[in-house]
A and B are shown apart, each in its own frame.
Chain A
Amino acid sequence: MKEDITWIEVGRVADIPPAGARVVKTKHGDVAVFRTADDDVFAVRDRCPHAGGPLSQGIVHGARVTCPLHNWVIDLASGEATGPDEGCAGTFPVQVEDGLIRLGLRLGQLAAAS
């Protein structure tokens, strides 16, 4: 069954440093909102599939982030680990209009994941 997505304004692109991330706190866990050097915006659950590291704290390169705990590299578009590692952090849809970021939250997804 398709779940309804709730779109929530979480801030402006300019609030996130280029090649950086900020956290959106929810009742069911943190969401990392990334801004790449190319100014693309992605939202990924802030838990590395490997050992739960906070991906929002990693170094962002291209459309990828390196987890600060053990250097797993996560693809921001899919949430999947790259290279030989396997696992997915889970992503959230994002809309950007006039510099404003809206995050599409399926609270059920967060609850199931946490």
Chain B
Amino acid sequence: MMARTRERLVVVGNGMAGIRTVEELLKRDPDRYDITVFGAEPHVNYNRIMLSPVLAGEKTFDQIVLNDRSWYERNGITLLTGEKVETIDREARTVTSVGGRTVGYDRLLLATGSDPFIIPVPGHGLPGVVTFRDMFDVEAMLRKAADGGRHAVVIGGGLLGLEAANGLAVNGMKVTVIHLMGTIMERQLDEAAGFLLQRELEDRGIDVMTNADTKAVLGDGHVTGVLLKDGREIPADLVVMAVGIRPSTGLAKAAGLAVERGVVVDDHMATSDPAILAVGECVQHRGATYGLVAPLWEMARVCADQLAGRRDSAYAGSVTSTKLKVTGIDVFSAGDFGGGKDCEDIVFRDAARGVYKRIVLKGDRIAGAVLYGDTKDGAWYFQMLREAENVAPLRETLIFGQGFGGQGFGGQGFGGAAANPKAAVAALSDGAEICGCNGVCKGAITRAIADKGLTTLDDVRSHTKASASCGSCTGLVEQLLELTLGDGYQAAAAAKPLCKCTHHPHDDVRRLIVAGELKSIPAVMQALEWKTANGCHVCRPALNYYLLAAWPGEYRDDYQSRFVNERVHANIQKDGTYSVVPRMWGGLTSAKELRAIADVVDKFAIPTVKVTGGQRIDLFGVKKEDLPAVWRDLNDAGMVSGHAYAKGLRTVKTCVGSEWCRFGTQDSTGMGVKLERMTWGTWTPHKVKLAVSGCPRNCAEATIKDFGVVAVDSGWELYVAGNGGMKVRECDFLTKVETEEQVLEYCGAFLQLYREEARYLDRTAPWVERVGLDYVKRRVVEDGEGRRALFARFQFSQMFSQTDPWEERASRGIDSHEFAPLATVG
């Protein structure tokens, strides 16, 4: 047999992609090439994705080595470590290393990987600033932690950054993660999963700062801290830049190969020079670059086929999935979860187990998946995603995972019988847990129904505790009642859910926010098992209000969950302009105020000025970008926001009262001003209007207000729960009091009861009609101690709400982005 002249293959890059290609090639055609591998690092080939466990001390370097030196020897491969290739001479078909070694090739494989991206802020080159890319970086970090470095700042809250943060925290450092975006790992996780992950990391002592933009790395001779654009400063002995990677393309570019973001390859992994192939993170294929491991394997197989002379295989791009390698935190994500036309979400939350799952469907196919806390079905979803499996037949139980489908349909899993949730419940074993909160299984519920003759959901709740806590298993319990009782079961008319994002009615949400000490919108959505990823325009403002009312001074208002009027503190009009109403306390104004209003009207060419029904002046047609300047001029004349846009206290209408009126019995204007001074700025479930009349002729129309006061000779009559509007409702008489102080106390107590117990967007009238006037009287009139406590809570919450929002925006630059365009083009 003739000895074959072997071709020469040179591999630039001793990383995972290059060596995996060589391994695949050896499987196909072990004798075809004389192989030389150049590696810039001094190490043998190791598993780069396991650097995180090395940093966290869970693995040693030896444990992550993929191929030791004997493997190269056994396979006749020349390994040149610590030799970075500097140039390629495509004409001569040689490569030359920095050390001056020149090696000829017939085929060249570029597997140069990627470089960490360094944000070019001042101080980025200081000693103590490292990246997280290779074994050098890990060693530098471990050295710093061992040398008594106390504070570490990780810039970048992506996959790598968080793994670095966890590793450094395990090594005893106090770690702060700085992330530019609002959600950590935003490319892999949605907001809800990002929130759960952030909370878990914070529980482990890692500080996470989102929406944080780095301005500079501080230090003189060595890193001492990081300065953010908003002026905050974080001390640091070590700064890890983990903001992203870029394909390493310098060598290819210098050799004149086609390079865009990465080295451009075709479906056969060939570069623009057919003698040169490329694989891994350095390549750009069909416009995409990859920074994860799975695509490398797929590319390596195609590349090995090409090198072995098999032309028929082709790389078609990869769909990727991600897992975070932090012990004890299970996170999985795959595909696209940004949503869009035709996309639907299936969301599952198990508050008791800390589980969040979201499957994004496009038509009948899975487009993306995010799993937190329970990732065992990740591979199953990922497989169906990659294979574009039609999931319509198992849609109703899809979110419960493969096991559930299998259980219900004799182990067939998907593709079996149509998934009927009731059939699935029927097929559950007696030991299957129905209520996760209280640990109640199916058998306990069906036995209780049969043995104790239970017929309603409430019966089951009181006897078994199933569905009595978070309520998310209510549907399952009702199905069990139906299955056990057959036609004998009549579902009770359940209270209407707050919106389509939840099965909980308003009252349950309010109760559970307080009982569960839930203090943010993501916390409520997780604990109450919201069915959507981040709610809708109905539930978000309601939740924001409930949280604000439950935790005054503590809850930070979620500005993006407010209707535009409450966000920009003016009323949007049909043409997109705004109206502005300054407060006129008790309907009183002055020459100075009127002059300032007139000046503002002239200066900003405000087209319409109208006197409102609430005794103040409305300026219509103000352009949004003019709002802060309009407010500044009004503020200068001593005027503040009239909150004419708010679900809150609007006006206190008054008549002139005893000061001028010949019939007046008390100073109704003065009483009105005092009420308005006490109540302005409060947030309530809906708008609130007050009025004070100075005698029973009632010129201030006080008996169709939310809280009305009518003066009589011997004191003040108090009325509640009236309104004008589509259905006029006359007030109910609450009680009569003697002093102004009592008027204030009863008013504050009534408003606080309304604030704490009414449903969002209920005015006082439907609320009082629902709970009954007797209930309100009992709480506000008969129970003196309770009234004083309500009043005290009202006053406490007012401590945090009586700031003029106009002044904050006109003079202190709050929310300035609201009033300026992002850009002006042309």
The closest CB in chain B to the CB of A67 belongs to B537
The reply to whether A17 and B560 contact each other, CB–CB distance below 8 Å, is yes
B92 is an interface residue with CB less than 8 A from chain A: no
Tell me which of A22, A62, A73, A78 has the highest count of chain B C-beta atoms within 10 A of its own C-beta.
A62
CA distance A64 to B567 in the complex (A): 18
Would you give the 0/1 interface string for A1-39, flagging 1 where the beta carbon is closer than 8 Å to chain B? 000000011110111111110111111101001001111
Q: How many A-B residue pairs have CB under 8 A?
A: 144
The reply to whether A99 and B180 contact each other, CB–CB distance below 8 Å, is yes
B438 is an interface residue with CB less than 8 A from chain A: no
CA distance A57 to B535 in the complex (A): 17
CA distance A56 to B530 in the complex (A): 26
Known: A37-B183, A69-B572. Contact between A59 and B560, CB under 8 A?
Answer: yes
The reply to whether A62 and B345 contact each other, CB–CB distance below 8 Å, is yes
CA distance A39 to B533 in the complex (A): 13
CA distance A23 to B337 in the complex (A): 25
Choose one: A28, A39, A99, A107; the contact of B182 (CB below 8 Å): A39
CA distance A15 to B388 in the complex (A): 37
The reply to whether B340 and A24 contact each other, CB–CB distance below 8 Å, is no
The closest CB in chain B to the CB of A59 belongs to B537
Q: Interface with A: B293-301, B439-447, B697-705, B817-825, which one? A: B817-825
A93 is an interface residue with CB less than 8 A from chain B: no
The reply to whether A78 and B340 contact each other, CB–CB distance below 8 Å, is yes
The reply to whether B186 and A58 contact each other, CB–CB distance below 8 Å, is no
Taking residues whose C-beta sits less than 8 angstroms from the other chain, chain A's interface range is 35 or more
B431 is an interface residue with CB less than 8 A from chain A: no
The reply to whether A66 and B536 contact each other, CB–CB distance below 8 Å, is yes
The reply to whether B822 and A75 contact each other, CB–CB distance below 8 Å, is no
Contact residues in B for A58 (Cβ distance below 8 Å): 537, 564
CA distance A53 to B565 in the complex (A): 13
Tell me which of B533, B535, B572, B823 has the highest count of chain A C-beta atoms within 10 A of its own C-beta.
B823
CA distance A27 to B824 in the complex (A): 9
Contact residues in A for B213 (Cβ distance below 8 Å): 14
Contact residues in A for B183 (Cβ distance below 8 Å): 18, 37-39
The closest CB in chain A to the CB of B575 belongs to A52
The reply to whether B534 and A24 contact each other, CB–CB distance below 8 Å, is no
CA distance A60 to B180 in the complex (A): 20
The reply to whether A18 and B560 contact each other, CB–CB distance below 8 Å, is yes
A89 is an interface residue with CB less than 8 A from chain B: no
CA distance A12 to B499 in the complex (A): 34
Contact residues in B for A37 (Cβ distance below 8 Å): 182-183, 190-191, 533-534
B826 is an interface residue with CB less than 8 A from chain A: yes
The reply to whether A13 and B181 contact each other, CB–CB distance below 8 Å, is yes
Choose one: A20, A61, A69, A105; the contact of B532 (CB below 8 Å): A61
Tell me which of B345, B537, B560, B822 has the highest count of chain A C-beta atoms within 10 A of its own C-beta.
B822
The closest CB in chain A to the CB of B229 belongs to A14
Contact residues in A for B339 (Cβ distance below 8 Å): 36, 38, 40, 62-64, 77
The reply to whether A38 and B537 contact each other, CB–CB distance below 8 Å, is no
The closest CB in chain A to the CB of B261 belongs to A97
The reply to whether A39 and B564 contact each other, CB–CB distance below 8 Å, is no
The reply to whether B821 and A25 contact each other, CB–CB distance below 8 Å, is yes
CA distance A51 to B817 in the complex (A): 25
Choose one: B343, B560, B572, B824; the contact of A60 (CB below 8 Å): B560
CA distance A95 to B576 in the complex (A): 28
The reply to whether B824 and A24 contact each other, CB–CB distance below 8 Å, is yes
Known: A22-B817, A39-B181, A62-B533. Contact between A10 and B191, CB under 8 A?
Answer: no
Contact residues in A for B824 (Cβ distance below 8 Å): 24-26
Known: A38-B190, A60-B560. Contact between A26 and B532, CB under 8 A?
Answer: no
Contact residues in A for B181 (Cβ distance below 8 Å): 13-14, 18, 39
The reply to whether B822 and A77 contact each other, CB–CB distance below 8 Å, is no
In the complex, 16 of the A-B residue pairs with CB atoms within 8 angstroms, ordered by the A residue number, are A15-B817, A17-B560, A18-B191, A24-B825, A37-B183, A39-B181, A57-B564, A59-B562, A60-B560, A61-B536, A61-B540, A62-B534, A63-B338, A63-B343, A71-B537, A76-B340
Residues of B bordering A, CB below 8 Å: 180-183, 186-187, 190-191, 211, 213, 244, 337-341, 343, 345, 532-537, 540-541, 559-565, 567-568, 572, 574-576, 817, 821-826
**7 cross-chain pairs, A with B, having the tightest CB-CB distances, nearest first:** A77-B340, A18-B182, A63-B339, A22-B822, A78-B341, A66-B537, A37-B191
Residues of A bordering B, CB below 8 Å: 8-11, 13-20, 22-28, 30, 33, 36-40, 51-54, 57-64, 66, 68-69, 71, 73, 75-78, 80, 98-99, 103, 105, 107
